Chains A and B, each alone.
Chain A
Amino acid sequence: MNEDAQWIIMMGFLVSFSFFFLAMVINQSTVVGQTTAESVSEFPKNDIRDTRDAILWSVNNGTDTDWVQRDMSAISLSRRDAVVGFSTFTSIDHEFVYIHFNNGVTSYNENWTIL
């Protein structure tokens, strides 16, 4: 067998494979952050936090929590596709706020204690 061009052929293979892997790296780099961004967008962190803030603000500063409660239930359902409810109740010497949030994917419940 004639083996004169072995080195040339091997270098040719090496170079072409390196190009191939570099191309693959570039190809994958376009989707960096994709799943992260999707998770951030889909988990209703801001919705829950915002709902919770408004409810607690209303309970601490407001007078008509009844109206606020009905407002938030109706508007959440029509504009945010989420079931939201809260109620306050008093135990022996504490007042509790029960918060409920559910948008079909994520559900959040909390009992907040007002001393």
Chain B
Amino acid sequence: MVNDGGQLYTIEGVSAGLIMLLTAYFVLNSTSIYTPGDSHINDMQLEVLGYDALLMMNTPANNTMVKSPLQEIVEQDDGQRFKTMFMNLTNNKTGSTTDRLQFSANYTYRIQTASTQNATASAFLSSSRPYTEGEHAVRVTKWVIVDKQLGSSPVHNRAVLVEVLLWRDA
């Protein structure tokens, strides 16, 4: 028969050991500071969604069409078409309700004159509602090659950068 005379001492010893291990764990762990309140995950998802939407808009509808919708939108400054298409791509959900994503879009081009070669300027394209600086927005960008007169230069094949601020309304 096993003698159980030392039970309490054993429990005490095990508890003391666990407490010491926990203390060591806390001390070692206290050097790494997590900020779970940060919104990295939401930002990442918004960025991926916005980039995918722009990529789809910059893809021609079929082989016979040379230009993508986004190219035509920038060439014709068709902000209404951009708004309709972008909102459809980002806000549609299963069922009849839609998501609450809002955006503000513009595009940046280079100005070429006799005196400057590398200055850039931005032109407003479209927005679902005005951007008031208070929103927590992410920025997604997309290169578009257009045939367009930008600034005072003649019509050329030009690269412009479409930039979209994307945020979710509360």
Interface residues of A (CB under 8 A from B): 1, 3, 6, 9-10, 13, 17, 20, 30-31, 33-34, 37-38, 40-41, 46-47, 50-51, 53-54, 57-58, 61-65, 67-68, 70-80
Q: Which of B47, B55, B141, B145 has the most CB of A within 10 A?
A: B145
Q: Which residues of A contact B20 (CB under 8 A)?
A: none
Distance from B53 Cβ to chain A, minimum over Cβ atoms (Å): 12
Interface of A is mostly: helix
Contacts of A47 in B (CB 8 A): 141
Residue B24 is within 8 A (CB to CB) of chain A in the complex: no
User: Could you pull out 27 A-B pairs where Cβ atoms are within 8 angstroms?
Assistant: A1-B8, A9-B11, A30-B36, A33-B41, A34-B41, A38-B40, A40-B44, A41-B40, A41-B47, A46-B51, A47-B141, A50-B51, A50-B143, A61-B66, A64-B156, A67-B157, A67-B159, A70-B118, A71-B109, A74-B117, A74-B120, A75-B160, A78-B108, A79-B120, A79-B161, A79-B163, A80-B161
B157 to A75, Cβ gap below 8 A? no
Say how far A78's CB is from chain B's closest CB, in angstroms: 5
Decide yes or no: A37 and B159 within 8 Å by CB, A71-B109, A79-B141 being known contacts. no
Which residues of A have CB within 8 Å of B142? 50
Are B8 and A13 within 8 A (Cβ)? no
CB proximity to A under 8 Å, residues B82-141 = 108-110, 112, 117-120, 140-141
B81 interface residue (CB < 8 Å to A): no
Does the CB pair B44–A58 fall under 8 Å? no
Docked-complex contact B8 and A64, CB < 8 angstroms: no
> What A residues does B120 contact at CB under 8 A?
74-75, 78-79
Q: Are B110 and A70 in contact (CB under 8 A)?
A: yes
Besides A37-B40, A38-B40, A68-B145, 10 new A-B residue pairs in contact (Cβ under 8 A), listed by A number: A33-B41, A37-B43, A53-B143, A54-B144, A62-B145, A70-B117, A72-B159, A75-B160, A75-B161, A80-B141
Contacts of A75 in B (CB 8 A): 108-110, 120, 159-161
Q: Are B7 and A34 in contact (CB under 8 A)?
A: no
Contacting residues, chain B, for A53 (C-beta < 8 A): 143
